[in-house]
Amino acid sequence: MESLLLLLFLMVLALPLFLGARRQKKAIREAQELQSSLVVGERVLTTSGVQATILDLGDETVDLEIAPGVRTTWVRVAIRERLVDPDAVTEVAVDTADADSARTDRG
């Protein structure tokens, strides 16, 4: 009976550790994929919250334009995410609105 309780206790402790490690590995893999897929001209967000445009890519660094004419150099791992182009979102929204109005007109 004691061994069963010990086994249950170990499982209760081990399961969150195992799931946490998997989640962390997934986050690291996604960050590495983002780092390797960066392209000049993209808008990005750094880990410190700075929004910028990529001007140049090096092996370990990236040059960012944080304001018109202001060029800074960052380590590549400081890029947290790719920002969505607001024009692309607007175009999709307009296309969807056109499709909805076309259906309503026929209706």
Model pLDDT for residues 23-50, shown as the tens digit of each residue? 999 999 998 999 899 999 999 999 999 9
- For residues 46 and 103, the model is more confident at 46
State the Cα torsion 5-11-16-20 to the nearest 10°.
160
Contact predicate 65/71, CB 8 Å: yes
Task: Provide the token pair at 23.
Answer: 């989640």
Question: What is residue 12's predicted lDDT score, i.e. its pLDDT?
Answer: 83
- For residues 45 and 15, the model is more confident at 45
Domain formed by 2-98, architecture? Roll (2.30)
Contact predicate 56/62, CB 8 Å: yes
Question: What is residue 106's predicted lDDT score, i.e. its pLDDT?
Answer: 53
Instruction: Quote the mean pLDDT of the chain.
Output: 82
- Partners of residue 89 on adjacent β-strands: none
Q: In what order do the strands lie in the sheet with 43-46?
A: 70-75, 61-67, 51-57, 43-46, 79-82
Q: Structural domain boundaries of the chain?
A: 2-98
Task: Provide the token pair at 16.
Answer: 């969150």
> Is the predicted pLDDT of residue 88 greater than 60, yes or no?
no
